[in-house]
Each structure stands twice: as C-alpha cells, then as structure tokens.
Structure 1
C-alpha cells in the first residue's frame, strides 16, 4: 500500500510523513513544490515527487500508483477550493481508494472565515467518487508560538476571544491521527472531530505562558476590529490579520471547542498539553 501526503514540506505534512515512516506501513510519497526542502525525508526513505496544487498534470504524475492520500489544506486563501479540487480530481483519475482531508470542526455550520474554503472542499469531496474521510482538526498550540515572546516581554497576551474556550493540540498529535487513519481500515465515510484534552480560554493560556516562562502574563481582551488593527500594525498582512481576529471571534462562540474524544481514540493517548508545546518557545 502506497500512501501520499500533499504539502509535505509544511509543518503538518512533514510531521505526517515522519509518522508514516515510523510506522513502516509501506511506501510513503511526499508531494512538494520544492524537493530541496525535504531532502532529509528522502534520505529517510520517502519517495519525493514534485507537484503543486495548481498543476493537474504534475498531480497526476505524483499520485501514480498511490492507494491512499492525505490532502493537507493549502495556505493560499481564496484559491484553496480550486486547488484542493485539482488534487481531488487527480485522486479520482488515479483510482485512489481513500483520501483524507484536513478540515475544521463542524465545517458544515462553522461561521469562521477559515471554515469557508474547508466547507467548499468537503462539498467537492462529497460530490466526487473518491472514498474519503474528514479529519476536522481544531486549533494548534503552535499557533501561539510566535506570540509567546512578545507576551512575556510585555506581560500581556492580546486576543478577542472573551472567555471562550478551545481544545487545541500539538501538530504532531494531528499528524499521528492522520497516520493512523491512512494505515488502518474502516475510515471511509467517517468524520472525525479532532481536539485536545485541554479546554482553555486565552486567559487560561496567559496563565500557562506565565507558568512556563516564570514571568507574569495577563490576558487583555480586545474587540475583533481592535485585534485585527493591532496585528496589522505589527506587520501581519491585512487579510490574514482579519482571518486571525475572526478566528478569535470563533473561539468566543465555541466553534473550536471539540469534545468528541476522536483524537484520543485514534492516537491511543491523551493529547499534548499546551505547556509542553509553549515551553519550547520560551526555551528557544
């Protein structure tokens, strides 16, 4: 059985390739735009194939002989449904027996900006003939790594999530879950709502940062508009700043709080704690 991972040079894709290689489940194909970025994966035995989400012919070559695929959602906002559609069409032409897609919790009803293209992709898959499974990943603790330093330095963690809670996990947790789904049977047609064991507010997260850094950090709640402006002022592109601020509004509404236990069942353990992930940022 040959398993392919798209976006294999990205954070989640790379971790999934590594998880698959460690399971010795068969040939692993790493699909990337730039093979130079994954030379280490090639040295570990991955079959590196070059293709982008915008190149149907290259995707056909990349999926030749592949049985199962992890479609890692792209990062080009506004283009992702079309790009993901190219992968789905190539998978259909290749006769892929299972395609797993990394989506977002409750995609069919999630009001977050981030959910729009996930919902569109899920709809494309539902219309296709490719057997598929949705891996609806909640938030990543790594989303906060870049903000730990400024929060520790200023003593303030800014956000717009109010007292809403979210169930984040480490990227490696989600990668391990994907590897389990890709290497075992019985997942076609399933929807996995994936989230961590901790259900934290941003006020709780500020306390975690305080604990791991040894310096007091408090949470300051802003409006969505204020947060977007602050992010843009710190150098975040305007469109992405709006997406991030809207995501905090989604947290406030409970849209990233997952209680299914699906992640824990798939990986057979508790999820990685926020302190463990954020401690690496403080140490670094």
Structure 2
C-alpha cells in the first residue's frame, strides 16, 4: 500500500498519474488523502482508496496510514498560517506520530536544497522545510527528502506578463547560474523511490535539472521558444515583500519568502554537485516548448 498526499497538486497529481498509467505504472494498491474527493477525476477515484480530509488531522492520518508500506508526503499551501513552523513541522506532527504508530517503513517527502550551506539557517521556507525533514527522519521510517531547487513550473504564474509585456521578474541576480527542475521530474524521482524500496536510513535525493541557468539565460531561451523578446527584470526584495500580501500571505509567510529569496541569491541552491543521478532530464528549453508556450499562447 502506497499513500499519496496532495494527489491533486502539481507534484502529487503527476505522481498519481505515473503510478496509475505511466511508465512507472504499478500493481500495488494506492491510497490518496484529499480534502475534496470531487477534485479527483471519477476514473481515478474508482482505482484508488480515498481518505477524505486534511493530512494534518490525527484521525485522517491514522486512517490513511493503517496498513501502509510507504507514504509520499507534501505539505499543502497554507497562505494565512501564523508561522513557518505551523506550515511545515506543525502540519506534519500528527503524521509523524501516525507513521511511528503504524510502523510505516518508507517515506518520501518534497523538500528543498540548502542543507549544509552557510545560509541554511536563515532561508525562510527552506529552513522550515529542512526542520520538517528532521521530524520525519525521526519517526523510525526510512526517509528520503527530494531536495529541490526552484521549479520551472512556477513561471506559469507569470504567463500573462510574459505574453503581454515580454517581461518576467524575480529577485535573484540576472547573471547568477542556478539549478532548476521541472515538477514532472520531481514526481518521477518520487515514483522511483516508492517503487524500489530497497533503500534504508535517511538522506536527500537532489533533483537538479540537467543544467544551471541564469535569469538572463532563461529569458534568452524563452525568447527563442516563443518567437518574441522576453527580458528579465530584477525586483528588489522590498518590492517583492510589498507584492506578497496582495496574494493573501500572512506576515510570517511573507518574511519567509523574502528570506528564502535572499538566501538563494547568496548560494542556497549551490551546495550540491550535479551528478548523473541528480541531473533530472527535462531541459528548460523542452519545458518552455511543451508547457510554457501553450500557456502563453492560450
């Protein structure tokens, strides 16, 4: 039995597809934890065991983890949370207790790069995510944290300004190369770990994409794929901070995002060397052609 949390999310949903129908398709029973089962396609609901509710609820995770051999763990967005601890470790504490109580043997979690870097203790959301990893690693289950850089897919939030003004923004230096990964590759890495559970102990599995790119490199590739000029505009941290409350984020989450972006510009994602195993396959150009371009042209 494999339990998948956030099965309608951008990673959990792709993972569920892989385990049901993709090249990773598997015959083991699947169980999903979802707040609103109606968000799952009817054909999917017919093929999985559905536990309705939030996976921070002790009763929900007790039901979900009964008989489970492996769990895929993701904390959902909680824009109005009062603290970063509440978003990550606070949300996870009931599940950690249930993992121990039910003797779940393997857990795969979505986390971030940065452990061991000089800025790991002041990286906002990333610092809190690493603390969540430590909590899960202490349950007795074998644990693997998928250590991710920024997601290519986050650029979809800027499809409109890319289309209308030929501009995308971030706070990082324009010429600083950094890894970035496609969420579909993160889901594939999770599927590999969930299907081959020969691993033991705790550790990280970096998902780094095939190359490091700067913001200017990304603008050049987007321009070539879209056939129109796209340029990068660097946003100050103060302007970035001012923009976030309008998206519904609490003060604590706003400061967490600011601290994370400051840390990224100070080398947060540069602490892991790319290897053949950590170099996930989707290039930024391929992702732009297959995902960003249809979104911009829609």
TM-score by length of structure 1 reads 0.87
Equivalent residues, number: 279
The equivalent of 1:182 in structure 2 is: 194
Higher mean C-alpha displacement, 23-32 vs 62-71: 23-32
Aligned to 1:71: 73
Question: Which of 98, 103, 108 pairs up with 2:111?
Answer: 103
Q: Does 1:88 align with 2:87?
A: no
Question: Counterpart of 1:195?
Answer: 208
Q: Matches of 1:96 and 1:24 in 2, distance apart?
A: 19
- Give the drift of 1:141: 0.7
User: What are the residue-to-residue correspondences of 1:1-150 with 2, within 5 Å?
Assistant: 2-22=1-21, 23-40=25-42, 42-43=44-45, 45-76=47-78, 77=81, 78=83, 79=86, 80-107=88-115, 109=117, 110=120, 111-150=122-161
Q: Which deviates the most, 103-112 or 85-94?
A: 103-112
Is the 2:106–2:197 Cα contact (8 Å) retained in structure 1? no
Could you tell me whether the CA contact under 8 Å between 1:212 and 1:282 is conserved in 2? no
Is the 1:92–1:130 Cα contact (8 Å) retained in structure 2? yes
Assess if the C-alpha contact under 8 Å between 2:113 and 2:271 holds in 1.
Answer: yes
Q: Please tell me whether the aligned partners of residues 148 and 209 of structure 1 are also in contact (alpha carbons under 8 angstroms).
A: no
Would you say the 8 A contact 2:163–2:297 is kept in 1?
no
- Distance, in Å, in 2 between the alignment partners of 1:241 and 1:151 is 24
In structure 1, the gaps of 5 or more residues are none
Q: Which runs of 5+ in 2 are unaligned?
A: none
How many angstroms apart in 1 are the aligned matches of 2:46 and 2:152? Answer: 27
Equivalent pair of 1:193/1:258 in contact (CA under 8 Å):
no
1:164 aligned residue: 176
Give the whole-Å Cα distance in 1 for the aligned partners of 2:295 and 2:124.
28
Q: How far apart, CA to CA, are the structure 1 residues paired with 2:106 and 2:54?
A: 20
CA offset digits 1:71-124 (Å, max 9, x no partner): 113322532211112112111111111111111113354232111221221221
Q: Specify the SS of the correspondent of 2:247.
A: coil
CA 1:242/1:200 → structure 2, altered by over 3 Å: closer, same or farther?
Answer: farther
CA change 1:127–1:24 in 2 (3 A) is closer
SS at match of 1:115: helix
CA RMSD for the aligned pairs? 2.4
CA–CA separation in structure 1 for the residues paired with 2:126 and 2:257? 12
8 Å contact kept, 1:197–1:271: yes
User: Residues 28 and 258 of structure 1: is their aligned pair in 2 closer, same or farther, counting only changes over 3 Å?
Assistant: farther
Displacement of 1:241: 5.1
